[in-house]
Amino acid sequence: MTKHSKHWVLFVILIMLSICNTYGQVRVPFAPRTANATPTQTSYTIKGDFSMVGNTNLTLVNYGDGTGNNNDMVYVDVDSDSSTMNSSSATLTFSTENGAIPECSNIIYAGLYWTGRAFGDGETDTETFTVTKDGLTKTFDKQIVRIQGPGAPGYQEIDANGAIAYPTNGDDRNMYSAYAEITDYVQQYGLGEYFVADIATREGLVDATGYYGGWGMVVVYENSQMQYRDITVFDGHAYVQSGIANYEIPISGFNAVQNGDVNFKLGLMAGEGDVPWTGDYFEMLRQDTNVYERLSHSGNTTDNFFNSSIQTQGNPRNPNLLNNTGVDIVMFDVDNGNNNADPTDDNKFIDNNQTSTTIRYGSELDTYIIFNVTFAVDAYVPEPEGVLTNTSINGNPPGPTNDSLEPGEDAIFDIDIRNTGTEAINNAVLTIPVPPSIDPSSFNIIFNTYAPFSTPNVPAYDAGVGPNGSVVWNLGTLPVPTDPDTVLADISFTLTVTRDCSILSDATFDPTVTLGGTLSGTGAISNISFVSDLIQGYETDGLCIGEPIPIPAVIDIEYLDYINEPPTASNPDPINIQCIGDLPAADINVVTDESDNSGIAPIVAFVSDVSDNGSNPEIITRTYSVTDDCGNTINVEQTITINDTTNPTITCQSDISETTSNDGIGNCTTTVALGTPTTNDNCGVASVVAEVNGSTIDPVTFEFDLGATTVTWTVTDFAGNSASCDQIVTITDDEDPTAICQDITVQLDASGNASITAADIDNGSSDNCGVASLAIDVTDFTCANVGANTVQLTVTDDNGNTASCNATVTVQDNVDPTAICQDITVQLDASGNASITAADIDNGSSDNCGVASLAIDVTDFTCANIGANTVQLTVTDDNGNTASCNATVTVQDNVDPTAI
C-alpha cells in the first residue's frame, strides 16, 4: 500500500543558520524538493526508501588516494560515445528489505544534481564556455548535462532551467550546483546503469582550489514489503568557507515510530571537499543530551567528513575511485544508539514519536558547498485502504477492445474503502480530484456504508477542492473491523469526458482520464495524521504478485477526430433581386445550421460577396463561415441573382457654338463648358461617360478643334443597361490673319523674264488658327518691268479670313548683251577713202531686253589703212549693259591709177 503523510509541508527546511562568523553564505535557502506530479507534497510517508547514486567526471592526471584536486586534472570519459567529452556512470539499485523485489518497487520521485568548477579565483566566470580536446570542440553550459539510462537509445539533454545556484563571478570560489527533476525518465528506464556526460568543468590546473565536476541522483521509491518511512529530499546552495563553523539546518514534520528502535539514514551531496584538507564536519543534535555529535561513515572520519568520498551502499560505479577529487555523495545509516547493549543509549538522535531534529555543519580548514540533504526515518501511520476500480467504459466493461473514451462519453469507477490497520481513523476523508478532462457538471454518485461503519455524511462534488474540483466524502470515523478485508463503504461515480473545445484544444490538454484519490485522517490511538493514496488493487500474476497497483487509473481519450470534425450547415436559399441596391445586408439568420456535436451552436459569420462580373443578369456568391467551438470551419454559399432589364434615360444639354482665338502656340482649340446630361434609372446610375469619335473624354479638360464635334454621352446602370444622346459642339474662327510684306529685288534672266512667289515677299504673316494660304497679284516680270513694281500679298486662314499688304519688287537687268562680229573687206574710192558703220561688222549681236546701240571705234579708212585693220564693235542694251567683239576690216584699193 502507498502511504503519504498528511503533513504536506513535512521536512520544511528553515535555514536559520547560527553562524559564528559573518562570512558564511547560504546562496539558496534549503527547502523540500517536490515532484512535478505532486507539487504540494514536501515529504513522502511510504513503505519504501530512497536510493542515492553518483560519480565524478574529473580525476587527477596523476591519481592518488590522498591527493587533492588542486593539481593537474583530466576528464573521466567511460562511455563509448565520441560526442561526449566527459562521462561517468553509476548503477541504480533498490533495497531487498523484508524480501522486497526491487523490480516491483514503484518510483515516485527522482532528481538529478550536478556540480563543478570551471573558473579560477579572479577569472571572469560565465555560464557557458568552449573547450577543445582531441579535435572535438564543445560549448559547455552549467545548466545542461546529458543522461543515458539503462537501455536508452542514446543521451538525452537535461536542462536545470536555473534551478539551485549559478554563482556570480567570483562567488563561492566559482563553484556551482544545478538540479533537474527526472522522475519520468527514471520511471521509464528503471534500475540499472546510468551515464551522465558533459558536465561543465575544465581540465588542467588553475589555482589552489582546483577544478572538479560530478553528479548525483536521488530516487524515492515504494514497495509494499518494506518498512514505513518518512522521506524528505531537500536542497539549496550553502557555501562553507574555511574557518567558518556551525551552520544549522532544522528538520521537522516527520513522525518517528511510537515504539522500539528508530532507524534512519542520511543522504548528502557536496562539492570541493578535499581528501588532504581536514577539519570539516557534519553533526546532528542528540535528543538525549541536547549536544551535537559529529557523524561519519565508512569512507570518512568525523574531522574530515567532506573528503571526496562516494559511499552509496555498494552500488557499482565506473570509475569506482576512492578519491573522487571534489565530489562527496554519501548515503549511510546513522547510528542511533540502538545497536549496542546499553539500553540507555537507545535512540540517541531520533526517539519514538519525535517530529524534529537539527543538523549542523562547518569547517576549520576546508572550503566546500552543500546542495542536497536527504533524510529517511522509520515511521508509523494508520493503514486505511481505498481500492479504485474502473467498472465501465461508455456503458461496456473495460477490455482490450473497449479501453478509451471520446468526448461526451463516460466511465464508471467504484471505490471500496477498508481499514486494514490496528486503530480507528478519525476525521477520515475520501478525496477524488476530478481530472481536467472531465466535465464537472455531470456527476452521478452512488454510495453505501456497511456495518460496523455508518455515517450521515454524503459524498458530493466540491468545486473549491483542486483545479477542477473534487468528489469529497467526509466519512467521519472508520472503525477497526474484525476482518481487515471488510469493506466499510463504497462509492460509485460516473465521469463524463468534457466536450468543451477550449479545454480539448488547449496545447496543455492531457488526453486521458487520469484518476486518483486519497484517504486522509488521524489515527485514533497514535494521533498521527496521514494522507494515503488509493490503489487499483493488487498484482495477480508475474514477478510482483501481491504488490499494490498504484494510481492513477488512466483511460485514453480519443479526441482528435472530435475536435477536428467540422460543423454541418446547409446553403441558404437563393435570392432574386432587380437592383444592386436591393442587395440584402449579410444576415447570419439566413444560414440553416445544425448544432455541433458539442451541443454548442456554431458561430456563423459573413465572409464575402463575390460577383461573377458578368453581364446582366449578375450572379453574386455570398459566403458565410460556420465555426464550431473547436475552431473547425466550413463555408456555405448563397446565390444572389441581380436581373435588371430596364434601360436608363439620358437627355443631353443644348448644342454649343463658340469662337476661339489663338492660344499663343498656334493651336486653335478650346475647352467648353458642356454641362451634365440629365439621367435616370430604376436601379441607379452607375456611370455617365462622354465620348468623341469612340474615345472617352474628360468633358472638363477636353480641347475641341474648329468645326463641329459630336459628343456622345452614354449612361450605364449597374446591370450594364445603357442609353446615349449627342451634343454638338461647334467652334468657329472670325479673326483675320496678319499680313506682313517685305520689299525684294529680282533679276531678269537671260530670256528677259523673272518670277516670284507669295512667300518671297511674306515677312511673317500669321493667324490665330494658322495661315491656310498666301497669294500675290503679280508673279511674272519682263524687261518692260525693269524698275520698281508694286505687288499685293493676300493672306488667307483656314476659315477664309483674309488680310493684304503691298511690297515693292524692283526688277533689274544685269545680263550683258552678246556681241557677234564679222570680218569685212572695203574698197577705197577714187578719193582714196572708205567708210563703214557698226552694222557693217555686226553679225547678229543680241540682248535679253534688246540692243540699244552699236558702236565701232574706227569708221573711216584711207590709203594708209590698206590691208587688214582690227575694229572693235561695242554693243549696248537698254539698261547700259555692254559687250564687245573685234572684226578684221580688210582695205583694198582696186582703183586704177589715172594715167595722164
pLDDT tens, position by position, 216-252: 999 999 998 998 898 999 888 888 877 666 778 777 7
What's the pLDDT score for residue 121? 85
Q: pLDDT category, 137, cuts 50, 70, 90?
A: very high
Grade residue 7 by pLDDT with cuts at 50, 70 and 90. Answer: very low
Instruction: Please report the sign of the dihedral spanned by the C-alpha atoms of residue 275, residue 280, residue 284, residue 286.
Output: positive
Cell output for 850: 534688246
Nearest to 831 by CA among 898, 758, 882: 898
**DSSP-derived secondary structure for 758-773:** HHHHBS--B-TT-EEE
For residue 671, name the pLDDT band (cuts at 50, 70, 90). Answer: confident
**Considering the chain, what percentage of its residues have pLDDT values greater than 70?**
93
Task: Kindly report, residue by residue over 30-54, the tens digit of the pLDDT.
Answer: 888 988 888 888 888 889 999 999 9
pLDDT band at 6 (very low <50, low <70, confident <90, very high): very low
What is the pLDDT confidence band of residue 589, given thresholds at 50, 70 and 90? low
Average pLDDT, rounded, for the chain: 88
- Which residues are within 8 A (CB) of 822 and not within 5 positions of it... i.e. 6 or more apart? 841, 842, 843, 887
Mean pLDDT over 362-369 rounds to 82
Tell me the per-residue pLDDT of 456-474, one tens digit each, with 9 for 90 and over: 999 999 999 988 999 999 9
Query: In which band, very low, low, confident or very high, does the pLDDT at 153 lie, cut at 50, 70 and 90?
Result: very high
Q: What are phi and psi of 631, to 5 degrees?
A: 90, 5
Q: What is the pLDDT of residue 770?
A: 78
DSSP secondary structure letters along 517-557:
-EEEEEETTT--EEEEE-EEEE--SSTTTT-EEESPEEEEE
Please state which of the ranges 13-27, 262-276, 369-383, 592-606 shows the lowest mean pLDDT: 13-27
Per-residue pLDDT band for 666 (boundaries 50, 70, 90) equals low
Which pLDDT value is given to residue 817? 93
Summarised one tens digit per residue, pLDDT across range 721-759 is 899 999 999 988 888 889 899 999 999 998 989 999 989
Distance (Å, whole) CA 365 – CA 347: 32
pLDDT band per the 50, 70, 90 thresholds, residue 590: low
Q: What is the pLDDT of residue 483?
A: 92
Which whole-number Å values give the CA distances from 701 to 674, 691, 724, 769, in the listed order? 10, 13, 21, 20
Environment class of residue 576 by beta-carbon count within 10 Å: exposed (0-12), middle (13-18) or buried (19+)?
Answer: exposed
Mean pLDDT value across residues 517-531: 87
If DSSP states are collapsed to H, E and C, what string results for 68-95?
Answer: CCCCCEEECECCCCCCCCCEEEEEECCC
864 backbone dihedrals φ, ψ, rounded to 5°: -70, -15
Q: What is the pLDDT of residues 538-576, one digit of tens each?
A: 888 888 888 888 889 999 999 998 888 888 888 888 999
- The residues near 800 (Cβ < 8 Å, ≥ 6 apart) are none
Q: In what order do the strands lie in the sheet with 685-692?
A: 656-659, 722-732, 707-717, 685-692, 695-697
**DSSP secondary structure code for residue 471 in this structure:** E
The pLDDT-based confidence of 22 (bands split at 50, 70, 90) is very low
pLDDT at residue number 16: 31
What is the arithmetic mean of pLDDT over 82-101? 96
State the pLDDT confidence band at 596, using cuts at 50, 70 and 90.
low
**Contact, 486 vs 418, CB < 8 A?**
yes
Confidence of residue 9 (pLDDT cuts 50, 70, 90): very low
- Which residues sit opposite 426 in a β-bridge? 522
* Band of residue 19 on the pLDDT scale cut at 50, 70, 90: very low
Residue entry with cell 578519491: 323
Residue 362 has pLDDT above 90, yes or no: no
Q: Is the pLDDT of residue 68 over 80?
A: yes
At residue 5, the pLDDT reads 34
Please determine, for residue 595, whether its predicted confidence score (pLDDT) is greater than 70: no
- How confident is the model at residue 279, as a pLDDT? 86
E strands along 718-801, which residues?
722-732, 744-747, 753-755, 771-776, 780-782, 787-797
pLDDT per position as a tens digit, 176-210: 999 999 999 999 999 999 999 999 999 999 998 99
Could you tell me the CA-to-CA distances from 524 to 164, 483, 824, 856 in Å, in that order? 41, 18, 187, 182
> What pLDDT shows up at residue 801?
87
With 0.75 as the threshold, say if the pTM is over it: no
At residue 15, the pLDDT reads 30
**Under a CB-based contact definition with an 8 Å cutoff, are residues 515 and 495 in contact?**
yes
What single string gives the DSSP state of each residue in 11-45? T--------SSTT-EEEEEEEEPPPSSSTT---EE
